[in-house]
Amino acid sequence: MAKKIDHASITEHARITQAILSNAFLNEFDRTHSLFQESFGDEGGYRIYKALCIGSFSWQPHMVNDYAKMVAFPIFFDLLDLHVDKRFGCANSYFGAKAEIIKNKIDLSLISDVFLLELYVFCTKLRNKMLHHNIAYEDGGLSYGADNIRVDRFRIINELIYQYVAYGFEGRPWYNQNAMLFFLDFLIGGGGALSDKINSLEDFTRLSTTLERRRCSVHNKYRYVPGDYILDFIFVHAGALYDLSNSECQFRVAHPDPEEKIVMGGCYYFIEMEGKYYLFPSELVIKEREVKFSDLSPWVYELKK
């Protein structure tokens, strides 16, 4: 007879695991990616709002090394596995059986459920190969079976897991959802059900694969209004990016006009406009240079109390 699942113990184990990850591995007290703070209460309290998104999590100093993140992956996976156990009641099942349980119980019409299935299947395969040491180090990466992955990608994997389990998918700002979808699709190499879902999304924006995204500010020479082009408030002149010490600078060859307006990838912007907040990636403007502030409605950032 199968042992009865102790849901309370699973919940407690998940709570402890998340607490360890958020304090011993991640640095939740770092404010590098804070968006703003809001006062509340009568005693000078305030609430800090952070990006809480892949590429914007801060790590403890001892976790900066890519190999440290690789070694930590099984613990991050445990958090995901506990989430699956809690949601589907399948703690006594093997990983392969759990994947089938997820597939049979989720709503495949929901992109959030497809995301969970694809994330779990990807992570279980990698975790099993690592657990049984069925891996090989090759050129700064790991090969496992017919697949391979660069060691620095473990930051993406760990942050995807943490973001999904700790903060969820549904109800999150589109900036966060868009990033989660893009990076998982990037990890699994495209194709399959998730890619089909993504390709049907009108507002989806593909991002650069930089591991650390930077918060940047719009130009403050004058105030923007909804009808303004975002490009005019975030560009840098091409000439500012020339390598003057290199007469064969490839960027200069590709962009010979020093006055050309260039938008840098790997950045995000947080703005307030007409009483609403918006959080959007620089790649939105790279994709469509004529996008205006009035087009930002999908990227609205609503405060969660």
What angle is formed at CA 137 by the lines to CA 74 and CA 125, rounded to 5 degrees? 40
Task: Tell me, yes or no, whether 181 lies in a domain.
Answer: yes
- Mean pLDDT within 92-99: 92
Task: Tell me, yes or no, whether 207 lies in a domain.
Answer: no
Task: Tell me, yes or no, whether 209 lies in a domain.
Answer: no
Burial 116-144 (b: 16+ CB within 10 A, else e): bbbbbbbbbbbbbbbeeeebeeeeeebeb
**Residues 167, 285 within the same domain:** no
pLDDT reported for residue 4: 66
Q: What percent of the chain has pLDDT over 90?
A: 77
State how beta strands 34-40 and 236-237 pair.
Answer: unpaired
pLDDT reported for residue 244: 86
Task: Tell me, yes or no, whether 29 lies in a domain.
Answer: yes
Alpha-carbon span 213 to 270, nearest angstrom: 13
In one letter, which amino acid is 49?
Y
Residue 100's SS3 state is helix
**Residues 187, 235 within the same domain:** no
Alpha-carbon span 201 to 168, nearest angstrom: 19
The answer, yes or no, to whether residue 305 has pLDDT greater than 60, is: no
Task: Tell me, yes or no, whether 210 lies in a domain.
Answer: no
Q: Residue 89 belongs to what domain range?
A: 7-199
The answer, yes or no, to whether residue 7 has pLDDT greater than 90, is: no
Residue 299's SS3 state is helix
- Mean pLDDT within 154-162: 97
Task: Tell me, yes or no, whether 121 lies in a domain.
Answer: yes
pTM for this predicted structure: 0.92
- Residues linked to residue 272 through DSSP beta bridges, in sequence order: 277
In the chain, how many domains are there?
A: 2
In contact, 175 and 99? CB cutoff 8 Å? no
**Residues 159, 21 within the same domain:** yes
**Secondary element (H or E) of residue 273:** strand 267-273
The answer, yes or no, to whether residue 270 has pLDDT greater than 90, is: yes
Contacts of 272 (CB under 8 A, 6+ apart): 278
**Residues 182, 68 within the same domain:** yes
